[in-house]
Chains A and B, each alone.
Chain A
Amino acid sequence: MKRKHKRLTFVIIAMALLGIAVGLVLMAFEENIVFFNSPTDIATTQPGPDKRLRLGGLVEEGSVVREAGSTVTRFRVTDLENVVDVVFDGILPDLFREGQGVIAEGKYINGAFQASEVLAKHDEQYMPPEVADALKKSGQWKGDETMKTQPQENK
């Protein structure tokens, strides 16, 4: 075997081993890499009141209640299987609306999620407003479904 063939074999084997090693590490750390948990995760694991975590899902239609005279907002986050009540005191991002993906950071205390921060999750749909209206009218609208399967994908 010529020297450059030796080097080629060595590089290929080293890259393959490195890839496998990194893959195993990432699989082992999956719990920490996942950015948010779904309402189903919360329902099955029932995290303690001291554990900080992120809850991700869709804001349930018709669930948003803004308390008069304060910045407190109550809403429910759903993954269309389980629902979690969320209480948040603060300013919501522009994209926050019913039916839209959202990620809340906070603690799960006494059956309600006390959020200290709320982030809007954008989906991968990009279209002009007129097209969105036309899709909604013709009943082909599926923009709100993108979050549906995602939170459970890795389970």
Chain B
Amino acid sequence: MADLHRFANPTRFLKLAGIIQPWALAVFLLSITVGLYMAFFTAPADYQQGESARIMYVHVPAAWMAMFCYTVMAVASAVSLIWKHPLADVSARATAPIGAAFTFLSLATGSLWGKPMWGTWWVWDARLTSVLVLLFLYIGYMALQGAFDDRVRAAKASAILALVGFVNVPIIKFSVDWWNTLHQPASVIKMGGSSIHPSMLWPLLIMAIAFKAYYVWVLMVRMRQELVANKVRILRLKQVHGG
């Protein structure tokens, strides 16, 4: 824990974040360019879905990020609740809108794909419903963070919500295995190897890297912004009281 405490110091974190941020942006720009090029031009059309299968290159990484961001948010919330690290709450709060955006993106692209392939925009099966619940959890978390004037109370209440909502993440992941759903089971991460052809798997993985780098980039931007805003507020308060 001693090593982690070093980075829990906001000043030291600001320095580190300043170094990470441009690198994350560079990785994002490079991988999104390569990933999108491969998705549109080098990847073949699917044997059954045809060109519509290309929606997967945005849909699947966005859905992964939706679950990944929530997991980060839940872990950061637990750290904030138990060890009261100020950075943990800042990172959880910074993650929420990014995760919500990815969740919305996966729902929207899935719906666009569903209409021509399944024959419907939306069904209430276990996978689709649990992802919609995830979007509501993100929105509820952001609303709760904004509902308190007192930062400490907001952090506590929203951390509890994030942790309670975390039960939904394994439900999303395994919904396609536990129940009959219209949504197909996992293709990439599954027992007995992936059931997706390498020519389609590579662009998918590069897009996943791009989305992850995007997350790190925006997280750094948002956390630095918040920490600097805190500093400004403290300086102002000092001015007022010392004035």
Residues of chain A having any CB pair with chain B under 8 Å? 4, 7-8, 11, 14-15, 18-19, 22, 26, 30, 33-38, 56, 92-96, 100, 103, 117-133, 146, 150-151, 153-154
Q: How many residues from B make CB contacts under 8 Å with A?
A: 41
Chain B residues with CB below 8 A from A132, complex form: 47-48
Question: What's the Cα separation between A153 and B174 when bound, in Å?
Answer: 14
Task: Give the total number of A-B pairs whose CB atoms are below 8 A apart.
Answer: 120
Tell me what chain A mostly uses at the interface: helix, strand, loop, or mixed: mixed
Contacting A at CB under 8 A, from B169-188, are 171, 178-182, 184-187
Known contacts A11-B82, A154-B178: does B47 contact A124 (CB below 8 Å)? no
> A4, A30, A127, A153: which contacts B47 (Cβ < 8 A)?
A127
Name B125's contact: one of A35, A100, A128 (CB within 8 Å): A35
Complex contact A8–B200 (CB within 8 A): no
B-side interface mostly: loop
Q: Which residues of A contact B199 (CB under 8 A)?
A: 128
Known A94-B117, A121-B182; contact A11-B197, beta-carbon cutoff 8 A: no
| Known pairs A92-B119, A120-B117 / 6 extra A-B pairs, C-beta < 8 Å | A36-B182, A93-B118, A124-B185, A126-B196, A127-B46, A127-B196
For the complex, what is the distance from the CA of A149 to the CA of B48, rounded to whole Å?
Answer: 21
How far does the Cβ of A20 sit from chain B's closest Cβ, in whole Å? Answer: 10
Task: Report the 4 A-B pairs with minimum CB-CB distance, sorted nearest first.
Answer: A93-B119, A128-B44, A132-B47, A35-B125
Give the A-binding residues of B (Cβ under 8 A).
44-49, 53, 56, 78, 81-84, 116-120, 123, 125-126, 163-164, 166-167, 171, 178-182, 184-187, 190, 195-197, 199-200
